[in-house]
Structure formats: C-alpha cells, structure tokens
Amino acid sequence: MRKSTKLLLGIGAAIATPIAINYVIAKKAEARIKKAQEAALPPYEQLEYEWEYGNIRYTKTGEGKPPLLLLHGIYPGASGLEWDLAIEWFAEDYTVYVPDLLGFGYSSKPALDFCSYLFVRLIKDFAENVIGQPTTAIASLHTAAALVSCASLNPQDFEKIVLVSPTGLETETILAQDEDGMLKKVLESPVAGTSFYNAICSKKALAQFYAKEGLVNADFFDEAYMDKVYLAAHADRASGKYALAALLGKFFNTDIKETLANLEVPYSIIVGEPQCAGASFKIYNGMDESYDAHVVEFAGLLPHTENGGKFYDLVKSL
C-alpha cells in the first residue's frame, strides 16, 4: 500500500473516530432524556416562552404571590437546576420563575454569537412578557452582571435585585481576549468543538470542574443530581457548545462597576467564600473589598446550591 494511501486512511480514521464517538454519546443521551420525559420526571414538566431567538423553558412555582425571578450562572452544564434546593424555600413567599437561559438546559441552543447583551435582552423580555409586573430577581456569576445592566436600562421591571458572586466588579475587568475569534471558531466546529463539549460535559468532568472552580463544595454532589445536570447539558446533543465557546472566549465578561454605582434599583450582593474561586472565575476573585457583600461561610461561589435555607434567610433579611 502506498504511503499516500496509508496517510489518507489515517487521516480518515482520525476524523471518523471522534465523529463516531460523538454520535454514540448523543444517541445515548437522547434515549435517556426520552425515557425521563415519558416518565414525566422533573425538570421536564416545564412551561415554554417563545422568544425571538429561541424557545425558553422555565418552571413556575406558587400562585398569587409577589414574583421572583431566579437566573442561573454561565458555566459548563449550567441550567435552572442550579436553583433546585432553594425553590422550596422561596415558593413559600413568592411565585418563583426559573428559566433555562438560551443555550443551556432544555431551552433552545441556536448557533448564535452569544454575549452578555443577548442575556440582557432575554432577561428584559422575560420579565415583561412572562412575569408582566415588577419582580425581584436573583442571578449568579456572569448572569448577575447581565442582570445589573438589564436593571440599569429597565428599572421599571425590577423591585430589587440580588447578585450572587457577580463577575465584573474586580479592579481590572478582563474583557474579551479572543479578539480574532479563533478559539471561539474551534470550539464551535463540528468535530473538534463537539468533542471538546462532550469531554467537558461528561458527568465526571462536570463534577471535577464544579469542585475545582469553586462553584460548590465537592461533598455536595450526588449521583442523582449530576445525572440531571448531565442530561440537561446534552439536551439537543452538543448544541450547548455555542454558548460555552462564548464563555471561554470571554464574550460574557462585562465591567459593571460604573453601572452598579449609578443603579436606581435596590441591590444586594451575596458571595460564598472568595478563596473557593478557581482560575475560570478569577474575574470574581478580584472584587473590591469596598463592596458590601454578605458572605455565606463554608460555601462555594453558588451558596444557594449547598444551603438553600440559609441563603433564603439571608435574602429575606436584606
């Protein structure tokens, strides 16, 4: 066999192997999601908001009470599941809305150029078209930064906002560094991007990432929770790679110091222990100590995932 033929066969195998692996991962996830849907298990009993850029899946808990909008952060495997342990507490006093952001969970995952302003638009439209009255809103990490911008532009839509470990308040904000878009293009590509997404969103890799980056303490994880996170990440196959590419390309990073200083809407900041944050969230690590932040001890960057009751009591006291 000629060397050129062997080379071509080798190249073909190198391309075909990850494609086959990605296909198997997608089909297995689809089968498990379908089985859970047929059993009517949460989080599948959800409502849907038809937004201009895609359908937004959300849950609504409680009736006839003041509205509360809970928004998850932006990270691998993120979805409204982030708020599962806190909903039962807040539902006693609020009608609680928990959406999966565009590109995450069971919402649409279109091939868009994701950025912070896209979520500013989504939060505004959801508050006005779904909730329909001024609401209290709580958001974490990069979504908290988007919420600040949204509340600044649309103060009439919010009673108050709570920011959980918000990004964008450090002394020197790290703005988009993938200026030529090369990293983003690779992470969005059909083979390499899909393979990377499947690797970082495997159940084991997700648990390791959450612990390493300080999202929650390692002892929080259990098999049932991580299984739900995994399935949400793989809904619509690997289409979540577009939002993840924007995150890793730093297109969600926003400097909100000046915006927050001039904000008309009342706000509070809640954080876990700052030393918990890993390299991916050093944008949070540098938050100026002059900000009046309420610390939840013995918790990571998402304290509501570890102690919903304590987090609820803190929010009610603000």
Per-residue pLDDT, 101 = 98
Q: How far apart are CA 142 and CA 164, in angstroms?
A: 10
Per-residue pLDDT, 180 = 59
pTM of the predicted model as reported, rounded to 2 decimal places: 0.86
Which residue has tokens 């944008």?
A: 283
Does residue 43 have a cis bond before it (omega within 30 degrees)? yes
Per-residue pLDDT, 220 = 67
**Beta-carbon count within 10 A of 4 CB:** 8
Could you state, in chain order, the average pLDDT of each consecutive group of 10 residues for the chain (318 residues)?
A: 40 42 45 52 69 96 92 96 90 94 96 94 98 97 96 97 90 55 82 87 88 78 83 87 91 90 95 76 69 84 89 92
**Beta-carbon count within 10 A of 149 CB:** 21
Q: How far apart are CA 188 and CA 250, in angstroms?
A: 14
CB burial of residue 129 (10 Å; 0-12, 13-18, 19+) = exposed
Q: b/e per residue, 197-236, with b = 16+ CB within 10 A?
A: bbebbbbeebbebbbebbbbbeebbeeebbebbbbbbbbb
Domain boundaries of the chain, sorted by first residue: 3-317
- At the fourth CATH level, the homologous superfamily of domain 3-317 is Alpha/Beta hydrolase fold, catalytic domain (3.40.50.1820)
**Beta-carbon count within 10 A of 72 CB:** 24
CB burial of residue 36 (10 Å; 0-12, 13-18, 19+) = middle
Per-residue pLDDT, 293 = 85
Per-residue pLDDT, 173 = 52
